[in-house]
Amino acid sequence: MIARVVTDLALDRIFDYIIPEDLLPVIRTGSRVTVPFGNSTREGFVLEVTRFSTCEKLKSLTGPAPGGANLPEKLLELGCWMADYYCCTQEQAIRTLLPGAVRSGKVKPKMRKFCTAADAAAVQSFLSLHSGQKAFAGRCEILRMLLESGGTAMDELVHFYNFSTSSIGTLVRNGLVRVEEREVLRRNAHSGRVTLPGKPQDPTPDQARALAVVDDMLADRIPRKSILLHGVTNSGKTEVYLQAIAKVLALGKSAIVLVPEISLTPQTVSRFRARFGDRLSILHSGLSDGERFDEWFRLQRGEASIAVGARSALFAPCADLGLIVVDEEHESSYKQSEAPRYSARDVAVMRGKLENALVILGSATPSCESMLNAKNGKYHLIELKNQARNQAPPAIRVIDQRAYGPPEPGKSTFFSPPLIDAVKSRMERHEQVILFLNRRGYARVMLCDACGYEARCPDCSVSYTYSRQRQTLECHFCGGVIAAPEVCPQCGDPKIRYSGVGTEKIEAAAHAVFGPARIARMDSDTMRSAADYEETLGKFQRGDIDILIGTQMIAKGLHFPEVTLVGIINADAGLAMPDFRAEERTFQLITQVAGRAGRGDLPGEVLIQTCKPENETIRCASELDFEGFMNFDMEAREVMKYPPYSHLILVHFRGEDEDLVRVFASDFSRRLEAFAGEGVRLRGPAPAPIDRIKGKYRYMTMIFGEKLGIIRRALRQMTLHEKAPDGVDVFVDVDAQSLL
């Protein structure tokens, strides 16, 4: 028999090896094996076991790789599909299926020595003979403990019970105590955390209808297809997920739940843990390699049956997978920015298809792609139109910033008078406020009025962002940081000014305007770890913070009943982005953050500050008119044949020599045109909207079309198997989420 193996070298090639007779019972599709490769030995995965090979001289594979990290056959099939669809190597796709801690082979199970009574009768005889004798008191105490407990870790006997290793050793030599090594789990942030058990809530009529569809699909009473769960904020989508998972577990199956960022949804994770306890495996970037190793094998062995995590949790080795939930399915963070540049939402749908698992995509503001799939019947649309507790949606007011003119001396330029009054009234009533601005930093640009100098990053075609707290100028693209100058670097004029606004400036202004209010800021400058995020949210939950200021990380997944006011500052800022998804993202952000207000017993209010109140996106968001916005945005996209009315592939070219990049991009695109069939359009190459990052010039070619299989295969050949000029990088982004 022949094993077709993909190795751990990024060659995008499959190699055939003979399976020795003695290994036939253990080698199967998905097995991790070691194989001879040239003068070395490599590891790889068996993609297929077959009887035939086109190669004449074959070597024999060495054997199974140590560690037991075999891949389920369907998961391996998913990796092969990803390699083909996302134009990456087979090795890159399959490497993505395994966390590095499992893939490397360097992490081993944690072993711990346990002591047990070797022979209960002999132990009882020893106790009868020596009880009450001072010289044997310690050994008798050890034996009694082991009989009662059934076994105790040796280090606990030594450190917590103050037994000596010599006493234990004597009992072992006398055949009274047995010492054995057992595999134990490493403790992570969720180990030992006490969570009160939660019970299913009585479903609302909307939730009951959704769960009835889930029941019918799981029982195959209606055709199984992906479900798009479109529920307004606070409509109880999470409760639908929880009860759907319970149904799947009752069938003996497992489930995967994807969230945009695990550290941003601690309340959601707590609800899952309360409902399912230790059956839950929480996967996130804060885990150590050892902890991630343990969680992966817990899932593989079936000790945990629910995987909850961000994008990579999609590849959890869950046996007999029954359900995949993608919460906030519209989130751009589900798209990976490095090869393989996959969309976790779309790959989730494919994994569900391969494993006959039900897929639920949930959002208050579904993506245009998902809505069109629902409209065309590819997805089953379920709508939760009412809030779970029959609460009224928050009252929303649009404030035209232009109507107030220049502020009075000493007054804030960022808070309109209505917003100031609204915040102060909440402070008087001891209620909480969220102020949202999707830009971090203090100011967006440093300018000199005397000579026109603008502080720009030398390696990127963007302005530095000013941080007053750190007194630095920072580039948010390459990470470059320099000290903020006190005078203009070009002409020496001391009257430099900082223009634009970010969350840091809003925080400073809030302290000045709202006086004694307790204020905190949440953005990527202040939240350096998941612990920072959880600590701040904990304070807000306890009422130790009155006003929470933040970026998009506070726009979703949070439930604070005392928040009665949300102020959205510069709501139209995102509309200026050179991207066809700018309107969609702006609508989604406004709608999501507005949903944080009025989730308790008190009514909520949302104030949207804008200089473009007549803008259709702002109008629809202010009226929570999702259908109206979809009609408006989709009509424009259909005319332009932009996604979702076509697929979009971006081919990126980068290099330090702009002429070399431009010439190669032009030649590459000209050759690619030969594979553009009917209905396929190529645009470019042209400079990217941000044409230089980290010292490299950036060009791109856009490819639009409904059927791009032929051109994808050409792109795989041209990018993976043909060499670009030295100094030029080329890569492909299939179903790109952004033009930036």
What pLDDT digit, counting tens, does each position of 644-692 carry?
A: 999 999 999 999 999 999 999 999 999 999 999 889 999 999 999 999 9
Does 535 lie in the same domain as 412? yes
Tell whether 531 and 404 lie within a shared domain. yes
Q: How many CB atoms lie within 10 A of CB 449?
A: 11
User: Any idea which residue has 């000029």 for tokens?
Assistant: 725
Q: Are strands 432-436 and 32-37 parallel, antiparallel or unpaired?
A: unpaired
Higher pLDDT, 408 or 236: 236
Which domain CATH number covers 76? 3.40.1440.60
* 400 is a domain residue: yes
Strand ranges (E), 364-499: 380-384, 395-400, 432-436, 445-448, 465-467, 472-474, 481-483, 496-499
Q: Among candidates 187, 161, 177, 183, which has minimal Cα distance to 112?
A: 183
Are the beta carbons of 197 and 277 closer than 8 angstroms?
Answer: yes
Q: What is the DSSP string of 130-150?
A: HTT-GGGHHHHHHHHHHHHHS
Q: Does residue 629 sit in the same domain as residue 589?
A: yes
Question: Residue 528 has which token pair?
Answer: 């350096």
As a whole number of angstroms, the distance between CA 720 and CA 7 comes to 16
The residue-averaged pLDDT of 84-95 equals 95
Q: Is 44 helix (H, G, I), strand (E, B) or coil?
A: strand
Closest CA to 9 of 81, 91, 93, 69: 91
Enumerate the H helices of 581-655 as residue ranges: 582-594, 616-622, 626-640
- 638 part of a folded domain: no
**Is 532 in the same domain as 561?**
yes
Cβ proximity of 255 and 323 under 8 Å: yes
Range of the domain at 417: 395-440+502-633
The total domain count for the chain is 5
CATH number at residue 730: 3.30.70.600
Q: What integer pLDDT is reported at residue 407 of this predicted model?
A: 57
**What is the DSSP-derived secondary structure letter of residue 454?**
B
**Residues 561 and 421 reside in one and the same domain:** yes
Asked if residue 334 and residue 225 are part of one domain, the reply reads: yes
| Structural domain includes residue 485 | no
pLDDT of 9 reads 87
User: How far apart are the C-alpha atoms of 498 and 466, rounded to whole Å?
Assistant: 7
Angle at which helices 237-250 and 266-276 cross, to 10°: 30
Task: Tell me the pLDDT band of 412, cut-offs 50, 70 and 90.
Answer: low
Q: How far apart (Å, rounded) are the C-alpha atoms in residues 149 and 386?
A: 53
**pLDDT, mean of residues 222-230:** 96
Regarding whether 610 and 514 lie in a shared domain, the answer is yes
**What average pLDDT does this structure show over 506-526?**
92
> Hunting for tokens 């059934």 — which residue is that?
150
Average pLDDT over residues 474-487: 94
Bridge partners (DSSP) listed for residue 152: 115
What CATH number corresponds to the domain at position 602? 3.40.50.300
Mean pLDDT of 414-443: 94
Nearest to 681 by CA among 640, 729, 718: 640
Confidence category of residue 195, pLDDT binned at 50, 70, 90: low
With bands split at pLDDT 50, 70 and 90, how would you rate the model's confidence at 614? very high
* Block residue for tokens 């099939």: 77
Lowest-confidence range among 141-145, 185-189, 190-194?
190-194
pLDDT at 156: 87
Q: Does residue 129 sit within a domain?
A: yes
Query: Quick one: which of 435, 620, 406 has its CA closest to 513?
Result: 435
Of 633, 657, 687, which one is at a domain's C-terminal end? 633
CA–CA separation, 684 and 654 (whole Å): 14
Beta-carbon contacts of 218 under 8 Å, excluding residues fewer than 6 positions away, are 247, 248, 251, 322, 358
Beta bridge mates, 274: none
Tell me how far CA of residue 647 lies from CA of 518, 526, 665, in angstroms: 48, 37, 21
Q: Is residue 460 part of a domain?
A: no
Residue at 134: amino acid letter? K
Specify whether 166 is located in the same domain as 213.
Answer: no
Residue ending a domain, choose from 184, 213, 247: 184
- pLDDT tops 90 at residue 641: yes
The DSSP 8-state label assigned to residue 204 in this structure reads P
Q: Which two tokens stand for residue 368?
A: 């245009």
Nearest CA-CA partner of 606 in 433, 401, 418, 395: 395
Same domain, 350 and 314: yes
Residue 329 near residue 362 (C-beta atoms within 8 A): yes
Instruction: Mention every residue, 6+ apart, whose C-beta is less than 8 A from residue 105.
Output: 43, 65, 66, 67
Instruction: Say if strands 32-37 and 40-50 run parallel, antiparallel, or are unpaired.
Output: antiparallel
Q: What pLDDT was estimated at residue 515?
A: 87
Residue with tokens 């969609």: 584
Cβ proximity of 526 and 256 under 8 Å: no
Top pLDDT among 404 and 364 is at: 364
Read off the pLDDT band of 106 (50, 70, 90): confident
How many CB atoms sit inside 10 A of residue 357's CB? 23
Give the pLDDT of residue 187: 73
Residue range 31-53: mean pLDDT, rounded: 92
Predicted confidence (pLDDT) at residue 193 exceeds the cutoff of 60: no
Query: 681: how many CB neighbours lie within 10 A of its CB?
Result: 11
Last residue of a domain, one of 184, 217, 248: 184
Tokens matching residue 398: 């649009």
Instruction: Give the pLDDT of residue 408.
Output: 58
Kindly state the tokens that stand for 577. 């982005």
Q: Could you tell me what percent of the chain has a pLDDT over 70? A: 97
Consecutive H or E run containing 522? strand 519-522
In a domain, 681, yes or no: yes
**Is the confidence at residue 724, as pLDDT, over 60?**
yes
Whether 411 shows a pLDDT value over 80: the answer reads: no
> Taking the CA atoms of the chain, what radius of gyration do you get in angstroms?
30
On the question of pLDDT at 190 being above 60, the answer is no
DSSP 463: B
Q: Measured between alpha carbons, how far is 228 from 230 in angstroms, rounded to an integer?
A: 6
pLDDT value of residue 264: 59
Cα–Cα distance for residue pair 719/267, rounded to 1 Å: 43
Average pLDDT over residues 232-254: 95
Whether residues 257 and 323 share a domain: the answer is yes
> Is there a contact between 4 and 45 (Cβ–Cβ < 8 Å)?
no
DSSP 9: S
Residue 140, domain member (yes or no): yes
Residues 6+ apart with CB under 8 A from 686: 699, 700, 701
CA-to-CA separations, 511 to 113, 468, 550, 627, in angstroms, rounded? 56, 15, 15, 39
Decide if 170 contacts 135 (C-beta within 8 A).
Answer: no
Cβ atoms of 432 and 560 closer than 8 Å: yes
Q: In this structure, are 349 and 372 located in the same domain?
A: yes
* Helix, strand or coil, per DSSP, at residue 334: helix
Q: Say how many Å lie between the first and final Cα of the chain, rounded.
A: 49
Q: Which amino acid is at 415?
A: F
- Contact at 8 Å (CB) between 575 and 614? no
Identify the bridge partners of residue 43 per DSSP, sorted by sequence position: 34
Q: Are residues 48 and 138 in the same domain?
A: no
Which residue matches tokens 């529920």? Answer: 231
| Residue 77 reports pLDDT greater than 60 | yes
Q: Is the pTM for the entire model greater than 0.75?
A: yes
- Residue 377: exposure state from Cβ atoms within 10 A (0-12, 13-18, ≥19): exposed
- 196 within domain boundaries: no
Q: Cα(664)–Cα(700) distance, rounded to whole angstroms?
A: 11
Q: Which of 96, 515, 566 lies closest to 316, judged by CA?
A: 96
Average pLDDT over residues 362-384: 97
